[in-house]
């Protein structure tokens, strides 16, 4: 969906911009009793969530779609010669009302959904796809864009030129240059794809929520750490069940398979998790094939051999051979180490009396046992030092030390759920930078995982700046009656990761919202997030806030050293696991012929080079792989590893100069965080670091020697 958001007054909105080159649209009258269509008299023009009802969404979408159509008509019918102002800038500024509504609806669809919202999404999505196609396939509009692209004039600024280039290429890549017959095919294919990806996501969520394992025998949970049992008891109570319940949500599933020795229960859970939407009521297998084949049709129609070729043309990596070579290079450097790690854990399990082949559902338990023995480290040792409130304090403190940001809770800002807290974010000079929403805990209405999103981005219109509304949504362990929320180390890293995305949004500067914040190439967007994870193991940082929640004792140096050692112990395995996801993603999106075969067999073949743990029949990740089949990472999952290479190389400069060095952080802010998509990402990276990134930095960070 287009990332633009509407906050001007209705009068200003209807009148258009002060720049006379922007055509004025004859907008339909809006029903301002609908809070989605009214002016928001709220702090920082934040969404009035408590006033928005389900019944408001569809009428608001209808009105906003009509508004954008009127704006497009005004551009197309402008008798004046096409210019940057009356065509490119006007197009950039169109759709603000629709973007505002999309921002609310689609963010809540992920964070606080309901059956009714999902039904609305199914009804609305085709209309949005039709609108998008009507704009991108409008021949008169494309003719104006092309005229400006070919004769841009001599007064454009750098960001203007980038916007012009991006706009023209967006039209070309969305079918504007196709014949009339092919445009109709493009409409058909994109409409089908939109519906398929939406249904995929809903099935994956439903399949995740559909399974739960209730345990009533105290003997089956007696060995579990207290925090695991408390979480299971809370889940059981919330579901109206007795005893202890495990769900397929990560904060529930992962601790149980890590600490339980009950192989039968773990196998049942593991198979359920790894067969979500594989057959049954929420089967996604046919949808997986249809999505891959429809994407191929779209790519072929636009002149590309495969969908990956189409996607990667607008990525930092540039093309398919570069990505495939990149993944192969990392695999060659780490696969042998990963296999060695598997043998090490298997041998250790055998010493403890385990017989037979170590299976995937055994891996978490015995690797944790090994970690406990080798590094005197487990979640029970670490979690007391990572009370959520202290972690939040530490993350905010880091943002202050690096970028001078301050975070003040603002109870006047309406939130969409009682678990959510809103903050005013200001810089060291008192400048308002953003609103930050924090939403920490799992619930049935929230999809799994963690993510950063925006209700509104950054832009400047007629000299008036709009600052962003940023949201971080996570699924951390809930507090219980006995304990506050205590995070695992992985959850601390997740917080820092998503907060890095939020910094990308909060520190954005620029005139055009489509270029600011996280509006960058997919394989560049993870650099600001993944670099933040490095501070999680820096004792100098942890000493500022990481204290035992009961005793106040600072986290001991030996625990931090053990965390680093333990991370490096399974670094190769974790790397190869991520490569397996990237490789199967590329396999699905480099098909040159429609695939009608078995989804499980396709995945098994694509992942074979990366297989470390034994493969298990009757399981597959593709039917629940929302990143590539319902999200924006199709032919782009490699971007996580790509960004790891970038961040390892980038953080080495902080290590050299000081982890709180304001000169380095200032350069990172100026050349990466604030620039968004205004320039080519490789140019921005080289300007910050002084050279292009190499895989060597990541291999060294994992404590491995690169294989020759």
Active site residues: 498
User: How far are the Cα atoms of 268, 358, 382, 573, 578 from residue 257, in angstroms, in the given order?
Assistant: 10, 14, 18, 18, 20
- DSSP for 10-45, please give it: HHHHHH--SSTTSPPP-PPPP-TTSTTTS---SGGG
How many angstroms separate the CA atoms of 528 and 650, rounded? 10
For strand 469-473 and strand 451-456, is the pairing parallel, antiparallel, or unpaired?
antiparallel
Give helix 250-259 / helix 226-238 axis angle, nearest 10°: 140
For strand 464-466 and strand 459-461, is the pairing parallel, antiparallel, or unpaired?
antiparallel
With left for phi above 0 and alpha for psi between -120 and 50, is residue 376 left, alpha or beta? left
* Nearest by Cα to 2 from 449, 312, 456: 456
How many angstroms separate the CA atoms of 644 and 631, rounded? 20
Yes or no: say if 694 and 649 are a contact pair by the CB < 8 Å rule. Answer: yes
CA dihedral (55, 59, 65, 66) in degrees, to 10, reads -170
Exposed/middle/buried for residue 488 (C-beta within 10 Å: 0-12, 13-18, 19+): buried
Query: What b/e readout covers 552-568, taking b as 16+ CB neighbours within 10 angstroms?
Result: eeebeeebbebbbebbe
How many angstroms separate the CA atoms of 682 and 316, rounded? 7
Stretch (H or E) spanning 647: helix 639-657
Yes or no: say if 422 and 44 are a contact pair by the CB < 8 Å rule. Answer: no
464 strand-pairing partners: 461
The pair of structure tokens assigned to 517 is: 């914040």
With left for phi above 0 and alpha for psi between -120 and 50, is residue 413 left, alpha or beta? beta
How many angstroms separate the CA atoms of 496 and 545, rounded? 14
* Nearest by Cα to 402 from 224, 264, 528: 528
Yes or no: say if 649 and 219 are a contact pair by the CB < 8 Å rule. Answer: no
CA angle 483, 486, 487 (to 5 degrees): 165
Give helix 96-111 / helix 54-76 axis angle, nearest 10°: 150
447 contacts: CB under 8 Å, gap ≥ 6: 110, 111, 113, 201, 205, 208, 626
Q: Give the SS3 label for residue 454.
A: strand
Yes or no: say if 311 and 585 are a contact pair by the CB < 8 Å rule. Answer: no
Q: Give the SS3 label for residue 455.
A: strand
- DSSP for 546-593, please give it: -B-TTT-PBPPHHHHHHHHHHHHHTHHHHHHHHHHHHHHHHHHHS-SS
């Amino acid at each position: 969906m287009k990332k633009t958001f509407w906050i001007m007054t209705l009068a200003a909105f209807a009148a258009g911009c002060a720049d006379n080159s922007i055509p004025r649209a004859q907008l339909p009258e809006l029903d301002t009793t609908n809070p989605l269509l009214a002016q928001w008299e709220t702090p920082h023009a934040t969404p009035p969530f408590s006033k928005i009802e389900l019944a408001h969404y569809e009428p608001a979408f209808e009105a906003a779609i009509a508004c954008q159509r009127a704006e497009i008509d005004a551009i197309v019918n402008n008798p004046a010669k096409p210019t940057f102002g009356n065509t490119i800038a006007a197009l950039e500024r169109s759709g603000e009302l629709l973007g505002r509504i999309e921002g609310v609806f689609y963010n809540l669809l992920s964070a606080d959904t309901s059956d009714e919202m999902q039904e609305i999404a199914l009804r609305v999505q085709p209309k949005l796809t039709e609108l998008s196609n009507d704009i991108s396939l409008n021949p008169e509009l494309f003719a104006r864009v092309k005229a400006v692209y070919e004769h841009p004039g001599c007064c454009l600024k750098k960001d203007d030129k980038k916007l012009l280039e991006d706009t023209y290429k967006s039209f070309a890549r969305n079918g504007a240059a196709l014949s009339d017959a092919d445009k109709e095919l493009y409409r058909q294919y994109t409409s089908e794809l939109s519906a398929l990806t939406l249904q995929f996501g809903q099935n994956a969520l439903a399949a995740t929520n559909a399974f739960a394992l209730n345990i009533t025998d105290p003997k089956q949970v007696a060995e579990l750490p207290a925090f695991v049992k408390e979480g299971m008891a809370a889940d059981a109570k919330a579901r109206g069940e007795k005893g202890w319940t495990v769900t397929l949500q990560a904060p529930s599933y992962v601790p149980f398979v890590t600490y339980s020795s009950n192989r039968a229960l773990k196998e049942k859970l593991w198979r359920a998790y790894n067969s979500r939407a594989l057959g049954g009521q929420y089967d996604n297998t046919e949808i997986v094939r249809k999505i891959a084949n429809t994407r191929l049709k779209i790519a072929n129609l636009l002149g590309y051999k495969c969908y990956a070729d189409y996607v990667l043309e607008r990525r930092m990596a540039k093309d398919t051979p570069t990505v495939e070579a990149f993944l192969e290079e990392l695999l060659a450097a780490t696969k042998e180490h990963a296999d060695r790690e598997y043998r090490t854990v298997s041998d250790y399990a055998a010493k403890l009396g385990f017989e037979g082949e170590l299976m995937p559902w055994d891996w978490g338990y015995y690797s944790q046992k090994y970690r406990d023995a080798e590094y005197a480290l487990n979640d029970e040792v670490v979690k007391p030092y990572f009370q959520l409130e202290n972690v939040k304090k530490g993350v905010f403190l880091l943002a202050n030390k690096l970028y001078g940001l301050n975070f003040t809770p603002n109870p006047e800002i309406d939130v969409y759920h009682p678990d959510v807290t809103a903050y005013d974010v200001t810089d060291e000079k008192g400048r308002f930078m953003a609103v930050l929403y924090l939403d920490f805990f799992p619930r049935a209405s929230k999809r799994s995982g963690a993510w950063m999103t925006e209700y509104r981005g950054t832009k400047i219109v007629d000299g008036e700046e709009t600052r962003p509304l940023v949201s971080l949504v996570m699924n951390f362990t809930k507090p219980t009656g006995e304990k506050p929320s205590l995070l695992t180390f992985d959850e601390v890293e997740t917080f820092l990761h998503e907060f890095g995305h939020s910094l990308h949004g909060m520190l954005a500067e620029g005139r055009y919202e489509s270029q600011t914040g996280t509006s960058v190439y997919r394989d560049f967007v993870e650099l600001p997030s993944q670099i933040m994870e490095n501070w999680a193991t820096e004792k100098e940082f942890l000493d500022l806030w990481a204290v035992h929640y009961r005793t106040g004792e600072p986290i001991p140096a030996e625990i931090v050293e053990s965390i680093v050692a333990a991370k490096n112990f399974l670094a190769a395995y974790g790397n190869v696991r991520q490569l397996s996801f990237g490789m199967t993603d590329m396999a699905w999106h480099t098909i040159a012929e429609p695939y009608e075969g078995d989804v499980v067999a396709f995945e098994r073949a694509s992942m074979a080079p990366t297989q470390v743990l034994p493969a298990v029949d009757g399981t597959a990740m593709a039917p629940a792989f929302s990143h590539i089949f319902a999200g924006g990472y199709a032919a782009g999952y490699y971007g996580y590893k790509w960004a790891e290479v970038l961040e390892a190389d980038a953080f080495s400069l902080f290590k050299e100069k000081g982890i709180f060095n304001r000169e380095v952080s200032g350069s990172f802010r100026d050349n990466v965080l604030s620039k968004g998509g205004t320039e080519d990402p490789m140019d921005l990276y080289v300007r910050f670091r002084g050279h292009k990134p190499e895989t060597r930095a990541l291999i060294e960070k994992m404590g491995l020697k690169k294989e020759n």
